[in-house]
């Protein structure tokens, strides 16, 4: 069993999504007892076993589907009638996706960045705040975040995109916002948002298109950011952004 928990820990440290399959019920003769566990990766790799053979093959397929949908499921099977195994018993397997903690990068430690960070904490994000202004990017303002006091452009070039990385661009300069968006758009993130008016966004897109960027990439950018609730203050804007995060997480098409 130790190898299963070690595999889960390693997957979490690497930011990998895996599924944990646990035998939660057994009737009659079965290859494994209640409590047997197995870790499954999206590509079908496993650590541990719940019995091998056709049973394990089916559970791996169920786990891959659970990972794709992001929802747990149960697989109940009669080993002889359903799988043609000679055991004669039945098994009930609970399959639970184990996703890494979402990581939010906030470029900009100003008023909106601060308010958004507070909302993100409530939603369980791991936070990184990037701003080279030491007087703004302080431990007092962002006590639970990793703070990067560095030129955002330099940091941006080293960012590793992925399905659990979220990015909010809300710096104090329009030119910096545009530079960051230009660096970020070619990559795939869970969500990429830019604060700004429709006029600002239109101008950005015109400049980026003129620079040769594929217009299809613009569809990946949420901007103006957040759900339209008539927000004006930093706190209200942060609430509208947080609502969009929840909608994206829950696979509900957010209002734009």
CATH of the domain at 109: 3.40.50.720
* Domain match, 91 and 173 both: no
Q: Within this chain, do residues 56 and 27 fall inside the same structural domain, yes or no? A: yes
Query: 96 or 197: which carries more pLDDT confidence?
Result: 96
Instruction: Give residue for tokens 């969009």.
Output: 244
Q: Which helix (H) or strand (E) holds 168?
A: strand 162-169
Task: Name the residue with tokens 């302080």.
Answer: 138
- Residues 115 and 143 placed together within one structural domain of the fold: yes
Average pLDDT of every residue of the chain: 90
Are 239 and 128 found together in one domain?
yes
Residue 78 has pLDDT above 90, yes or no: no
Q: Give the strand order in the sheet containing 189-194.
A: 146-148, 126-130, 103-107, 162-169, 189-194, 221-222
| Residues linked to residue 21 through DSSP beta bridges, in sequence order | 38, 95
In a domain, 196, yes or no: yes
Domain extent, residue 94, equals 13-98
Residues 79 and 134 in one domain: no
pLDDT at 254: 55
24 inside domain? yes
**Does 64 lie in the same domain as 51?**
yes
Which of 18-27, 142-151, 218-227 has the weakest average pLDDT? 218-227
Whole-angstrom CA distances from 79 to 56, 61, 89 are 11, 16, 6
Using one digit for the tens of pLDDT, what is the confidence trace for 215-240? 777 888 898 899 989 999 999 999 99
Give pTM, 2 decimals.
0.76
Instruction: State whether 64 and 109 are in the same domain.
Output: no
- Listed residues 98, 124, 148: the one ending a domain: 98
Do 81 and 122 share a domain, yes or no?
no
Q: Of 83, 98, 113, which closes a domain? A: 98
The pLDDT tens digits for 91-129 are 899 999 998 889 999 999 999 999 999 999 999 999 999
Q: What pLDDT does 128 receive?
A: 97
Do 124 and 202 share a structural domain? yes
* Nearest CA among 159, 187, 17, 181 for reference residue 102: 17
For residue 1, the model assigns a pLDDT of 60
Number of domains in the chain: 2
96 - beta bridge partners? Answer: 20
pLDDT band at 255 (very low <50, low <70, confident <90, very high): very low
Same domain for 192 and 216?
yes
């Amino acid at each position: 069993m130790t190898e299963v928990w070690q595999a889960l820990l390693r997957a979490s440290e690497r930011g990998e999504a895996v599924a944990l399959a646990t035998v939660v019920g057994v009737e009659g003769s079965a290859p494994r007892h209640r409590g047997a566990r197995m870790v499954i990766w999206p590509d079908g790799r496993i650590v541990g076993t719940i019995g091998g053979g056709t049973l394990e093959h089916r559970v791996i397929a169920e786990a891959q589907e659970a990972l794709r949908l992001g929802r747990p499921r149960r697989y109940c099977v009669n080993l002889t009638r359903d799988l043609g195994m000679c055991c004669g018993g039945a098994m009930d397997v609970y399959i639970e996706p184990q996703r890494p903690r979402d990581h939010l990068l906030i470029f900009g430690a100003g008023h909106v960045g601060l308010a958004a960070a507070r909302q993100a904490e409530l939603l369980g994000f791991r936070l990184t705040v990037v701003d080279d202004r030491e007087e703004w990017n302080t431990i007092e303002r962002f006590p639970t975040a990793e703070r990067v006091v560095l030129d955002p452009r330099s940091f941006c070039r080293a960012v590793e995109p992925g399905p659990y990385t979220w990015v909010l661009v809300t710096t104090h300069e329009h030119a910096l916002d545009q530079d960051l968006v230009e660096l970020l758009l070619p990559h795939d993130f869970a969500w990429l948002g830019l604060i700004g008016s429709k006029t600002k966004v239109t101008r950005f897109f015109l400049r980026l298109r003129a620079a040769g960027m594929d217009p299809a990439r613009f569809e990946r950018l949420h901007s103006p950011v957040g759900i339209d609730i008539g927000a004006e203050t930093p706190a209200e804007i942060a609430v509208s952004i947080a609502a969009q995060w929840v909608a994206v997480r829950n696979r509900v098409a957010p209002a734009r």
